[in-house]
Amino acid sequence: MYNAQMTKEKTKEIFTDIVLIDIINFSKLTDSQQYEIINFLTKSYKRMIEKMLLNSNMTLSKLIVGFISTGDGFFCILNPRLRGYGAILGVSFNHFSDQISKRFSYFQGVRIAVHTGTVSEFTDILGHSNYIGHGLNDCSRYQEFKNFTISTVMISDSAFNELKGFLQRHKDFHKLLIEREFKHSETYIFRDKHNKEKKGCLVWLRKSGIITPPNIYFNSIMSK
């Protein structure tokens, strides 16, 4: 009982945006292609994030608290102070993936899902911080949506509500999304593989680009 209580007290739960990136048909690639594309994708996204951090004058931990590899992609867990920015980060990732597809003929793109939910931090067997929770599981379920189209991101109803709150707090981002012709579909309702109802919509930018998070002056910067 004492140990269970101690475990409960040490549980660190956060309610935040979760972005899941999944490489389409990754398992159908050869071993060398898998290595080549995951290595290039990881390094490319790293450079993109580093540029975003530089533009926003912030450290990595102020933007992202954790990455979790899935083998054919990764989860990106945002700092809860930036809740609502996840959908914007998702369309930024999508823009970069469009550029990658021009380099590798076998690369079919990525599926990106965004959800706002709860995750719990724990220390894994190697002593590294890791995360579990329904937020991760629910985010995965949104990738089961069948009507994904090129250059769109599937976001849950909770992530969409957080996006609206984010845009109310950061008026310059609202203006920027209008300039970039941010669009969203109607609300889709579907059932996941566990027969649970999910609600969400597709979002995209007609004028795509990489949108950095708010910096200390709450300004936004569009990277071409």
Per-residue pLDDT of the chain (224 residues; tens, 9 = 90+): 445 544 455 678 999 999 999 999 999 999 999 999 988 888 888 888 888 888 888 888 889 999 998 988 999 999 999 999 999 999 998 887 777 878 888 998 899 999 999 999 998 898 888 899 999 999 999 999 988 777 899 999 999 999 999 999 999 999 999 999 999 999 999 999 999 999 999 999 999 888 999 874 434 444 44
- CA dist 199 and 195 (Å) reads 13
- CA dist 208 and 114 (Å) reads 18
Mean pLDDT estimate for the chain = 87
Cβ atoms < 10 Å from Cβ of 164: 11
- Per residue in 24-38, pLDDT tens? 999 999 999 999 998
11-209 has CATH 3.30.70.1230 classification: yes
